[in-house]
Amino acid sequence: MTDQTQRRNIRFTVVVVLLFITVIVAGFVYRIQQPRVMSVTEMKVNGLYLHENPRNFGEISLIDHHGEVFDRSRFEGKWSLVFFGFTYCPDVCPTTMAFLDQFMAQLEGTEAEDTQVVMVSVDPARDTVEQLSQYVPYFNPDFIGVTGEFLDVHRFATALNTPFRKVPGQDENYLVDHSSNVVLVNPKGDYHGFFKAPLDQAKMKVTYRSARVHWDY
């Protein structure tokens, strides 16, 4: 073997080794940059309570802030973050809606494309389609406001374990006590779990992503 051939072989070996090291390092960097997937127990500790078996909440018959029918099919094919509130709510509701707008702004790619936010009014007597159409888009034009007959809304809220009641002893400017949790509905249209208040952006983002990874359609 000539010296020239030997040097060429050495250079080739060095290049191969360097390429191998580069691939290994790049793979390691990629893995550590990916958000960690939490276990179900870790998700619960961080505020997301998942049902072992997602629950079918049955059929619903409501109406959105565009005046269009809002039924169970509107949940299919998307992950839905459902919040029960009302437009006359002085604090929790606007705070939560602003929080959800910020949360949606952090999502990217598929997560952003197949996630929707739905606010269901617990005060359908005052929250008409027109009222919701002025309130909900203020926080985000893609958010969906939903109202309907009181009993239909109540049945839906009960199925999602989010009770509410009108505060007694008040005039027309009454308040409504309601849960500030955010319900998670999976793309099959089933009640998947809920994010327990108080909400936290960082925790919600990683638990939401983890729930999506764990879900087996």
Which residues are known binding-site members for Cu cation? 89, 93, 178
Binding residues: 89, 93, 178
Residue position matching structure tokens 């030997």: 6
| The one-letter amino acid at 94 | P
Tokens representing residue 139 in the block: 């926080």
11 vs 145: CA distance, rounded Å: 66
Tell me the two tokens of residue 2: 């000539």
Neighbouring C-alpha atoms within 13 Å toward the C-beta of 147: 19
- Could you give the CA distance from residue 162 to residue 69 in angstroms, rounded to a whole number? 22
Q: Helix, strand or coil for residue 85? A: strand
The C-alpha atoms of residue 31 and residue 193 are separated, in whole angstroms, by 28
